[in-house]
Amino acid sequence: MKLSIACFFAAILGSLFTLWMTGPDRFSTASAQQSGPKLPRLDLPSTPRRIPAPLDRDHLSEEEAINVAIYETCNKSVVHITSRGVEVDNFFFAEVREGDGSGAVLDSSGHILTNFHVIEGAREVRVGLYDGSSFPASLVGADPISDVAILKIEAPRALLFPVILGDMSELQVGMRVFAIGNPFGLERTMATGIISSLNRTLPLRGNRTVRSIIQIDASVNPGNSGGPLLDSKGRLIGITTAIASRTGQSAGVGFAIPVNLVTRILNDLLQFGRVIRPESGIQKVYETEEGLLVASLTEGGPAEQAGLRGPRVARERRGPFVIQKVDRLAADRIIGVDGSPVETADDLMSYLDGKRPGERVVLKVVRDKTKIDLPIVLGGDDPRRGRLPE
């Protein structure tokens, strides 16, 4: 009798173990791009939604109640983006690539905010809403440099719950954050954490870097890209975009594109499908207590033509070798632009991004302990006026 019972339980445990080991594999990755109509404006919500009072939930701790309230209020704003594309190898063999990503509803007209790399290269993109419905998406505008894209779906307004845009200037290291997305295709998963650091730089496309990146310790994984990063009031403060990991999965170091960058480029993406950027020729600066120290300039660019100075480079021959010495402290320090002080790289970038190619700005710099003004005519191209000389 005892032997029969033991064999019975052993058979059950063996079956459960087999089911666990042979469970379905649901994980896949890919990227996408589409073309579509460009719309003139966003239909943003007029009044912010209210987060339920956390103390109304007597059976929860205050921290748990906040978590629950954030999720209940904001999860319907999160979408599941699936993409299909065709990749051709060197032998002209075509392979269909599929993938998952996340996004957020921007307005009740169906504009969706996500990362560019989520939809890069795709021929078909679909957006899944909280109720399980799915809609084909068209691309309104994209900016590979900042890794931001705007999609458009034709969905009933009753199914669209727009996020509320926050402000990065209010953020501090240590503040709680909430990331909602679709890691490994698991829809509307929430992870919590804190802001680990601010003003990180992240290389995203070529030699360009995105500044003012938010570093978080909330668990993010493949599939979270493009999803909203929220503060404790349920406001969108960033777009989850990357992780630092040697395994491809969360190691507690995640990065998000700040919402202020998104709001700066929204109008261009809606009107032109891309961001119209002026070219200053200032490639990199270091933030110091005495201003922005110029680290590198574009050769022949507007800043160099205007006389802005980068590090002094001296070459000295020692036998068969040439030794290069770089004096970074000899470079100019930018302390203002058009009469307004600048203290951070984001201050300067934000101001210049608000200008158009061909416009003139005046930099105030410190050179050899003397303040001087340097007028610069910004280069770049403007679709309304054509290419401008740099």
Q: What is the structure's pLDDT at 62?
A: 86
- 80 catalytically annotated: no
Catalytically annotated residue among 77, 109, 117, 196: 117
* pTM of the complete model: 0.66
Q: How confident is the model at residue 18 (pLDDT cuts 50, 70, 90)?
A: very low
Are the beta carbons of 312 and 326 closer than 8 angstroms? Answer: yes
Q: Is the pLDDT of residue 382 over 50?
A: yes
Q: Is the pLDDT of residue 250 over 80?
A: no
Catalytically annotated residue among 100, 147, 217, 231: 147
Tens digit of each residue's pLDDT (9 = 90 or more) over 157-195? 999 999 999 988 888 999 999 999 999 888 889 999 999
Catalytically annotated residue among 77, 225, 250, 280: 225
Tens digit of each residue's pLDDT (9 = 90 or more) over 40-71? 456 666 555 666 555 456 788 888 988 999 99
Range 107-139 burial, b when 16+ CB lie within 10 A, else e? bbbbbbbbbbbbbbebeebbbbbbeeeebebeb
Write down all domains in the chain, each with its CATH number in brackets.
164-267 (2.40.10.10), 278-388 (2.30.42.10)
C-alpha dihedral sign at 152, 238, 53, 192: positive
- 225 catalytically annotated: yes
Q: What percent of the chain has pLDDT over 90?
A: 46
- 143 catalytically annotated: no
321/10: higher pLDDT: 321
Least confident piece of the model among 83-87, 116-120, 130-134, 376-380: 83-87
